[in-house]
Amino acid sequence: MTPVHFSFTTAFILGLMGLAFHRTHLLSALLCLEGMMLSLFIALSLWTLQLEATAFSTAPMLLLAFSACEASAGLALLVATARTHGTDRLQNLNLLQC
């Protein structure tokens, strides 16, 4: 395993662990998701450059577009929950209540 591959794998695993174990605020969960998407984007971009194949060159841009959509939807949910509940703490959110 090369050091570059190890660093991107470690960044993805750290984002996943932060998402799984540090679930206090919705904003911290969104930041962990963005860190995971950023590590995936860079790893996919480097993989495309290493293969030197033009068929896979659109995959990083497609991932980046989906990441931007995910970020905007997450921020919209963050603003909506902050307005309705007064906080972004995940312990205060209950899916069974409307």
pLDDT at 57: 83
Distance from C-alpha of 61 to C-alpha of 96, rounded to nearest angstrom: 37
Residue 82 lies in a domain: yes
Check which CATH number belongs to the domain holding 33 and give it: 1.10.287.3510
Residue 17 lies in a domain: yes
Residue 39 lies in a domain: yes
pLDDT at 23: 79
Q: Give the structural domain span for 80.
A: 3-92
pLDDT at 66: 94
pTM: 0.84
**Mean pLDDT, all residues of the chain:** 88
Residues of the chain with pLDDT under 70: 95-98
pLDDT at 96: 66
* Number of folded domains that form the chain: 1
Long-range CB contacts for residues 28-33, cutoff 8 Å, separation at least 24: 29/90, 30/71, 30/74, 30/75, 30/78, 33/70, 33/74
Residue 98 lies in a domain: no
pLDDT at 87: 85
pLDDT at 89: 86
